[in-house]
């Protein structure tokens, strides 16, 4: 008997098309896995069981009548809880959005629905996507399915664990500073952060608008790329959406890196990183070299400046974006207040968690008069320099290969003690957001302790083609243990 | 310390951020911010004289369209989210004397 939960999304789509399995059977298989293991791993904030089962029957009819025929028709999907879903609780894992039911859906939700995909539920995350461990959630921490004493990474932790533990075949996350790539690396799944402007941000509850991008997470490169093709579109509701010539990225799934120029930044592979991580990535690079890629080490430069520049810019944007949460229109409102302003302040102070407050305060400070030039403008200038460094690199190389994170997943509770250390763990992912580049994490093996390690492939803006080719060629070199099927009761 | 944040500054940031901090939180916020700013100050090691600040990475310009309503009247659903409402209005504390 086939185990639906272990299949890839494309395999599921194929089997539904061939009438080997029904859409309802598929949805039920994932719901039953969620019921079995989610109390241990905590991937989901909301599971939309009844609606998913209802939709399964509707989609089945449409597939049978030929109305929908895409490769992911009938495939269930988990959605990060900062993506608006009409009629379905959307919390950003924050108390301040307690009970909030969006009156509209994000464009990516419209796109997955058009493709016949079925939302299983909303996944746990760091509050407002601020964090790298999924421990700042108001709904409790998510755990790494490979070892429940470790974090899954973040902020799209729940989206990555849902795929890694067989609770969903694919999922959507969002990436502002590494929030798809880093947890993908920690959970042994494939996650893509597309070029800024490729996927509509309409309906994504904003954190740092100039950096945010929604992206797909899957068990393998093919699944992630197929889902990327579904969610990408030009959208007039997002003023930063860019019309691309082609949204079919699956044609780059070719096993050919002959002559591909790969740059490996020497200044990324420092002594601070885990030896095991370094070794696994070097051996993955070697595998690509053996397939005909031309590999060269180089100095990217400016590496230590990306994180401080990011925290100024992201916090500044967050302080502005999060002003709307004031207890008037939706969500939580504090109980005791004297007047309008005390209501705003009390609501926000009680509704936001400490990491969110920390960033709102930093952002308000760097934008305030007297400090704006010294901090905010300075960071924007440094961002310009970092972009120049990447432009220079991409004049020579087709892709850059880097780690997704300097270590494997840390133990639960370790990172929150020292936020500065947590910030530093994003060193390899943050520049990609500052420069609007596409980047993805691909599993390259596990540590001796059994925790997954991811390799990051970065390409120039709009050049998903070379990034996907490199990822697919690597994946084709060997079979990777795709999914950690939890049985439940492991905790 | 080069980035000493005064009590007045923390008060002011609290006003800008619309956050009500108790004494203990203020002390913690000061420490956190001083630590972050010290780190952010490493940016000053870079000479950025004459560099244009980059607000947005994309070269695209503003997109304009006619302001036509395309979604229907969702006011009931919108109001259903309000923590407090009166008839078809959002309810807030009295704002004028």
* Dihedral angle over CA of A240, A245, A248, A250, nearest 10: -100
What is the count of structural domains for chain B? 1
Domain total for chain A?
1
Could you tell me if A491 lies within 8 Å of chain B, comparing CB atoms?
A: no
- pLDDT single digits (tens) A47-94: 999 999 999 999 999 999 999 999 999 999 999 999 999 999 999 999
A319 contacts chain B (CB < 8 A):
yes
Of B36, B53, B54, the CB nearest to A362: B36
**Partners of A294 in the beta sheet?**
A261
Pairwise CB contact (< 8 Å): A365 & B33 = yes
**Is beta strand A190-193 parallel, antiparallel or unpaired with respect to A44-47?**
unpaired
Catalytic, A155? Answer yes
A462 and B CB contact within 8 Å: no
Of the pLDDT bands very low, low, confident and very high (cuts 50, 70, 90), residue B1 is very low
Range of the domain at B20: 7-45
* Structure tokens given for A400: 């850059």
The answer to whether the Cβ–Cβ distance between B52 and A242 falls below 8 Å is: no
Which residues in A253-363 belong to E strands, given as ranges?
A: 261-265, 294-298
Does B16 sit within 8 Å of A104, measured CB to CB? no
Is the pLDDT at A267 greater than 80? The verdict is: yes
Chain A residues close to B59, C-beta within 8 Å: none
In chain A, residues with a C-beta closer than 8 Å to the C-beta of B51 are 381, 384-385
User: Is residue B62 one of the residues assigned to a domain?
Assistant: no
In a domain, B63, yes or no: no
CA dist., res. A44 & res. A79, Å (int): 9
Measured CA to CA, the distance from residue A433 to residue A439 in angstroms comes to: 9
Domain membership of residue A427 (yes or no) is no
Neighbours of A391 (CB within 10 A): 12
Nearest CA in chain B to A86: B77
Instruction: Compute the nearest-CA separation of B6 from chain A (Å).
Output: 12
Q: What residues of chain B lie within 8 A of the CB of A337, using their CB?
A: 93
Residue A270 φ/ψ region, left for φ over 0, alpha for ψ in the -120 to 50 degree band, beta for the rest: beta
* Chain B residues in contact with A313 (beta carbon < 8 A): none
> How does pLDDT run across A153-198, given as a tens digit for each residue?
999 999 999 999 999 999 999 999 999 999 999 999 999 999 999 9
Domain annotation covers residue A234: yes
Across the interface, which of B17, B51, B65 has its CB nearest the CB of A385?
B51
- Minimum CA–CA partner of A335 in chain B: B83
Q: Measure Cα distances from B4 to A270, A360, A430, A485, B15 in Å.
A: 32, 19, 28, 51, 19
- Per-residue burial over A74-103, b if 16 or more Cβ lie within 10 Å, else e, is bbbbbbbbbbbbbebbbbbbbbbbeebbbb
Nearest to B63 among A236, A330, A344 (CB): A236
pLDDT of residue B33: 93
Nearest CA to CA, how far is B66 from chain A (Å)?
11
Q: What is the pLDDT of residues A221-264, one digit of tens each?
A: 999 999 999 999 999 999 899 999 999 999 999 999 999 999 99
End-to-end CA distance of chain B: 45
Q: Say if the Cβ atoms of A382 and B35 lie within 8 Å.
A: no
Helices (H) and strands (E) in chain A, counts: 15, 11
Using alpha carbons, list the distances in angstroms from residue A100 to A88, A107, A331, A333, A340: 8, 18, 5, 12, 21
Is A417 an active-site residue? Answer: no
**Is residue B12 domain-resident?**
yes
Check which CATH number belongs to the domain holding B40 and give it: 1.10.20
Q: What integer best gives the mean pLDDT of chain A?
A: 96
CATH code at position A138: 3.90.1300.10
In a domain, residue A387? The reply is: no
For residues A171 and A183, give the distance between their C-alpha atoms in angstroms, rounded to a whole number.
13
- Tell me what pLDDT residue A454 has: 96
Identify the domain containing residue A172 by its residue range. 4-256
| Among B18, B44, B71, beta carbon nearest to A348 | B18
Q: Which of A96, A364, A391 to mutate to test the interface with B (most CBs of B within 10 A)?
A: A364
Share of chain A above pLDDT 70, in %: 98
How confident is the model over B9-54, as pLDDT tens digits? Answer: 999 999 999 999 999 999 999 999 999 999 999 999 999 999 999 8
ipTM of the complex: 0.94
In a domain, B74, yes or no: no
Tokens of B19: 């956050």
Structural domain includes residue A241: yes
Q: Mind telling me how many Å the CA of B87 is from chain A's nearest CA? A: 14
Our CA-based measurement puts residue B1 at a distance from the nearest CA of chain A, in whole angstroms, of 17
Q: What's the distance, Cα to Cα, between the start and end of chain A in Å?
A: 28
A308, A358, A419 ranked by CB distance to B40: nearest: A308
- Whether A80 is catalytic: yes
| A349 in Cβ contact with B21 (< 8 Å) | yes
Residue of B nearest to A306 (CA): B43
Residue A177 Cα, gap to closest chain B Cα (Å): 15
Per-residue pLDDT at B74 exceeds 90: no
Alpha-carbon distance B46 to nearest alpha carbon in chain A (angstroms): 8
For A288-300, the pLDDT digits (tens) are 999 999 999 999 9
Q: Confirm whether B24 is domain-assigned.
A: yes
A413: left (phi over 0), alpha (psi -120 to 50) or beta: left
Per DSSP, the three-state class of A338 is coil
Mutation for testing the B interface, residue in A378, A389, A433, A438 having most B CBs under 10 Å = A378
pLDDT (tens digit per residue) in A435-479? 999 999 999 999 999 999 999 999 999 999 999 999 999 999 986
Inter-chain residue contact B56 with A240, CB threshold 8 Å: yes
Cα A425–Cα A133–Cα A169 angle in degrees, nearest 5: 115
Q: Which of A239, A323, A375 sits opposite B62 (nearest CB)?
A: A239
Question: Which residues on B lie below 8 Å from A311 (Cβ)?
Answer: 36, 39-40
- Pairs of CB atoms within 8 A across A/B: 158
């Amino acid at each position: 008997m086939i185990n639906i939960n272990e299949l890839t999304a494309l395999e599921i789509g194929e089997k539904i098309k061939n009438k080997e399995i029904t859409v309802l059977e598929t949805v039920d298989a994932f719901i039953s896995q969620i019921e079995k293991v989610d109390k241990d791993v905590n991937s989901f904030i909301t599971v939309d069981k009844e609606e998913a089962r209802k939709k399964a029957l509707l989609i089945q009819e449409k597939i049978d009548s030929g109305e929908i025929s895409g490769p992911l028709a009938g495939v269930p999907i988990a959605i990060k809880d900062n993506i608006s879903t009409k009629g379905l609780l959307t919390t950003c894992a924050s108390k301040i959005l307690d009970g909030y039911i969006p009156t509209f859906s994000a464009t990516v939700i419209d796109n997955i629905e058009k493709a016949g995909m079925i939302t299983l539920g909303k996944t746990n995350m760091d509050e407002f996507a601020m964090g790298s461990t999924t421990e700042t959630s108001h709904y409790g921490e998510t755990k790494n399915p490979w070892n429940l004493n470790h974090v899954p990474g973040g902020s799209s932790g729940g989206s990555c664990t849902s795929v890694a533990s067989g609770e969903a075949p694919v999922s959507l996350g969002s990436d502002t500073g590494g929030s798809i790539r880093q947890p993908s690396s920690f959970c042994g799944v494939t996650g893509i952060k597309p070029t800024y402007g490729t996927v509509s941000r309409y309906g994504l509850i904003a954190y740092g608008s100039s950096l945010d991008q929604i992206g797909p997470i899957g068990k393998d490169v093919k699944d992630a790329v197929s889902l990327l093709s579904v969610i990408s579109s030009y959208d007039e509701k997002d003023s930063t959406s860019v019309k691309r010539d082609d949204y079919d990225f699956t044609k780059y799934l070719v096993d050919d890196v002959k002559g591909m120029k790969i740059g490996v930044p020497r200044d990324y592979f420092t002594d601070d990183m885990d030896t095991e991580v370094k070794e696994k990535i070097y051996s993955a690079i070697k595998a690509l070299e053996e397939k005909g890629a031309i590999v060269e080490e180089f100095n990217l430069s400016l590496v230590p400046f990306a994180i401080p520049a990011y925290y100024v810019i992201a916090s500044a944007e967050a302080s502005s974006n999060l002003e709307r949460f004031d207890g008037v229109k939706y969500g939580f409102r504090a109980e005791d207040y004297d007047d309008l302003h005390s209501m705003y302040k009390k609501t926000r102070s009680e509704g936001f968690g400490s990491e969110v407050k920390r960033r709102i305060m930093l952002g308000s400070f760097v934008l305030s008069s007297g400090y704006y030039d010294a901090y905010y403008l300075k960071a924007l200038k440094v961002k310009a320099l970092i972009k120049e460094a990447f432009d220079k690199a991409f004049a020579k190389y087709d892709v850059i290969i880097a780690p997704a994170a300097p270590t494997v997943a840390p133990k639960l509770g370790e990172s929150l003690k020292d936020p500065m250390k947590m910030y530093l763990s994003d060193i390899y992912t943050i520049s990609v957001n500052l420069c609007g580049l596409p980047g993805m994490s691909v599993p390259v093996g596990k540590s001796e302790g059994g925790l997954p390690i991811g390799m990051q492939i970065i390409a120039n803006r709009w050049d998903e083609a070379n990034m996907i080719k490199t990822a697919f060629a690597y994946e084709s070199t060997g079979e990777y243990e795709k999914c950690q099927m939890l049985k439940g009761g492991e905790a | 310390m080069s980035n000493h944040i005064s009590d007045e500054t923390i008060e002011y940031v609290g006003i800008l951020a619309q956050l009500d901090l108790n004494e203990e939180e203020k002390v913690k916020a000061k420490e956190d911010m001083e630590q972050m700013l010290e780190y952010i100050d490493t940016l000053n090691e870079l000479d950025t004289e004459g560099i244009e600040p980059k607000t947005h990475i994309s070269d695209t310009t503003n997109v304009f369209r006619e302001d036509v309503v395309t979604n229907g009247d969702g006011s009931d659903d919108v109001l259903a989210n309000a923590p407090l409402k009166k008839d078809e209005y959002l309810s807030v504390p009295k704002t004028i004397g």
